[in-house]
Amino acid sequence: MKLIYKKATIEDIDILIKSRIEVLRAANKLTEAADMTEVEEQSYDYYMEALSNGTHTAYLVFDGNRFVGAGGVSYFRVMPTYHNPSGNKAYIMNMYTNPIYRRKGIAYKTLKLLVEDAKERGVTAISLEATDMGKPLYEKFGFVKMNDEMELPQ
């Protein structure tokens, strides 16, 4: 197994969208019958803009020519706070590893690359949403559960 970690570019948009759909199907327990057309179209628009303007970094992982994993981080700014005076934030997303390649450190290394990217930009407020499968990885890395965040459901 010779793994290659590649920082994604716009030329990788097809594989980024494909992995995004795989992540969403798995996280939401969706079958192949679920229509993801709108998500695919919006993901294309998102990646075109965000990769061009630097508000998203993604890494793709290959074993030779075979795609085996991915992860991304989105950058945005909110009102400055005492604990985050710059207001700059990073949100880790789209973490994926092919089931055959799980438990080999791929997701950990991908996460490390994404966190390093954020820190190089001076971003210290890094968050993510974890599935039950992903929680042990994120806890091992040092992420802690947030207790005060709320969401208005649709």
Task: Map out the domains of the chain as residue ranges.
Answer: 3-141
Find where tokens 């993510």 sit. Answer: 128
Q: What is the pTM of this model?
A: 0.91
Looking at residue 146, its pLDDT comes to: 87
Asked if 95 contacts 134 with a C-beta cutoff of 8 angstroms, the reply is yes
pLDDT at 104 over 90: yes
Domain 3-141 listed as CATH 3.40.630.30: yes
pLDDT at 149 over 90: no
Instruction: Give 101's contacts (C-beta < 8 A, 6+ positions apart).
Output: 63, 68, 69
Bridge partners, residue 67, by sequence: 62
3 state SS for 29-94? CCCCCCCCHHHHHHHHHHHHHHHHHCCEEEEEEEECCEEEEEEEEEEEECCCCCCCCCCEEEEEEE
pLDDT (mean) for 73-101? 95
User: 127 pLDDT band (50/70/90 cuts)?
Assistant: very high
